[in-house]
């Protein structure tokens, strides 16, 4: 790839996973090879005389752009079941690259054998071990990620209600802002909380949901949109992170960044998380049931994992009573996450592209 151009069909952004991932991959790849963004090309230009890698936007493996290259690579994060359209679209690519081993395995189960894995990275200049003591008397739980059924914040609220009834010093700090009303509305299907939207802005809307479910908004800190570069300052104020996600097609950037700061986590040991968490670097949620989501015709469109509420409560209580032990778990996590940087992700991507040349 020394003299040729690698065309990139990525759109960089600041406050959502795909945008952050795209921004860092563009930056790191551009340090290593000649790159050009498809976004910056004239709209009429559909063919690029070199390798092209672009985002695939859903489980159907639809490309973000209609552009084609001499060789074509797609990078995808998906949580819903693959379809016949996925199979047809996969034939347009030399290689489909999933954001987790779970995603790659789902592709292969569907017969999409031209598939590989590229795990996301963290920025070690922004996310590195927090060594200062938090201070204060409260035990503060952190939760991040868009407020939606898939990410399991309804389970957190149900567990919090139980925990806060027993321990007056437990608070929740969340970064749940969701810019997609349609995914937020999936909380209406929760077996754990009542859901309705009411309120003029984000905090007011969330406070209504807390009250609706018997929770005190005064014991929950609802953050607005936090700039990516300020997250470490937020993490400093907390004792443990909780991620009972029902499914992650990638490796959960919020989880990775929190762990990189040396903070301990409680995490579902399933789907994309399994590339990152283990019994030494996290408190694992292992009591997982199967959950299937069907469409209006009764067809299964998603097959996820359902964390057990009692186990979530148990892990929070363990963390509350064993603060020195969980600090050691946090240190293990930070050590492990040093191996996951965007520079290494870019190296891995380039090796996949170069190794695959001429295979089809």
* pLDDT, tens digit, 9 for 90 and up, residues 180-220: 899 999 999 999 999 999 988 999 999 999 999 999 999 99
Of the pLDDT bands very low, low, confident and very high (cuts 50, 70, 90), residue 1 is low
- The reply to whether 5-120+341-356 and 139-337 are identical in fold is yes
Residues 6+ apart with CB under 8 A from 224: 177, 202, 203
Whole-number Å distance between alpha carbons of 344 and 28 = 9
pLDDT of residue 15: 75
In this prediction, residue 320 carries a pLDDT of: 98
Residue 225 token pair: 């949109």
Distance CA 306, CA 310 (A): 12
Nearest partner of 30 among 11, 48, 54, 5, judged by Cα: 5
User: Is the distance from CB of 339 to CB of 189 less than 8 angstroms?
Assistant: no
User: Which tens digits make up the pLDDT trace of 29-71?
Assistant: 999 999 999 975 545 558 999 999 999 999 999 999 999 999 9
Please give the biggest Cα pair distance in the chain: 64
Which residue did the predictor score with more confidence, 303 or 44? Answer: 303
Segment among 44-53, 168-177, 191-200, 253-262 with least mean pLDDT: 44-53
3-state secondary structure of 5: strand
- pLDDT above 70: residue 360: no
Fold of the domain built from segment(s) 139-337: Rossmann fold (3.40.50)
Confidence (pLDDT) at 2: 63
How far is it, in rounded angstroms, from Cα 331 to Cα 336?
9
Tokens 């090796």 -> residue: 351
pLDDT of residue 352: 97
Q: List helix spans (H) across the chain.
A: 17-32, 84-90, 101-109, 153-166, 181-184, 202-212, 231-236, 253-260, 309-321, 323-337, 342-356
pLDDT at 40: 55
- CA-to-CA separations, 342 to 244, 281, 320, 338, in angstroms, rounded: 25, 21, 33, 11
Q: What ranges do the domains of the chain cover?
A: 5-120+341-356, 139-337
Instruction: Output the pLDDT for position 7.
Output: 95
Q: What is the pTM of this model?
A: 0.96
pLDDT digits (tens, 9 = 90+) for 91-122: 999 999 999 999 999 999 999 999 999 999 99
Q: What is the mean pLDDT of residues 6-33?
A: 93
| pLDDT tens sequence across 118-149 | 999 999 999 999 998 888 899 999 999 999 99
Contact in structure between 90 and 258 (CB atoms under 8 Å): no
| CB 75 within 8 Å of CB 97 | yes
Considering the chain, what is the average pLDDT of its residues? Answer: 95
Name the CATH topology of 5-120+341-356.
Rossmann fold (3.40.50)
Q: Is the pLDDT of residue 151 over 80?
A: yes
């Amino acid at each position: 790839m020394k003299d040729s151009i690698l065309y990139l069909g990525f759109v960089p952004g600041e406050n959502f996973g795909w945008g952050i991932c795209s921004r860092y991959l563009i930056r790191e790849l551009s340090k290593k090879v000649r790159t050009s963004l498809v976004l910056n090309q004239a709209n009429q230009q559909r063919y690029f005389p070199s390798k092209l890698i672009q985002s695939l936007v859903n489980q159907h493996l639809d490309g973000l752009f209609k552009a084609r290259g001499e060789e074509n690579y797609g990078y995808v994060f998906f949580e819903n079941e693959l379809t016949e359209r996925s199979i047809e679209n996969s034939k347009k690519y030399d290689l489909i690259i999933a954001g987790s081993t779970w995603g790659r395995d789902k592709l292969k189960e569907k017969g999409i054998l031209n598939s590989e894995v590229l795990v996301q990275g963290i920025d070690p200049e922004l996310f590195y071990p927090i060594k200062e003591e938090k201070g204060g008397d409260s035990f503060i739980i952190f939760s991040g990620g868009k407020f939606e059924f898939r990410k399991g914040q309804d389970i957190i609220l149900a567990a919090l209600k139980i925990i806060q009834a027993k321990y007056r010093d437990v608070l929740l700090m969340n970064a749940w802002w969701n810019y997609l009303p349609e995914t937020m509305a999936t909380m209406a299907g929760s077996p754990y909380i009542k859901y309705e939207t009411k309120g003029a802005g984000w905090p007011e809307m969330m406070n209504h949901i807390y009250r609706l479910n018997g929770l005190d908004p005064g014991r929950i800190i609802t953050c607005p949109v936090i700039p990516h570069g300020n997250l470490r300052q937020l993490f400093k104020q907390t004792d443990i992170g909780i991620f009972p996600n029902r499914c992650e097609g990638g490796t959960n950037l919020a989880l990775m960044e929190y762990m990189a700061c040396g903070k301990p986590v409680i995490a579902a040991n399933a789907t994309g998380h399994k590339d990152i968490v283990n019994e030494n670097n996290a408190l694992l949620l292992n009591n997982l049931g199967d959950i299937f989501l069907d469409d209006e015709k009764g067809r299964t469109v998603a097959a996820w994992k359902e964390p057990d509420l009692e186990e979530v409560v148990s892990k929070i209580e363990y963390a509350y009573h064993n603060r020195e032990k969980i600090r050691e778990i946090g240190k293990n996590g930070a050590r492990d996450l040093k191996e996951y940087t965007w520079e290494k992700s870019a190296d891995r991507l380039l090796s996949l592209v170069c190794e695959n040349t001429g295979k089809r």
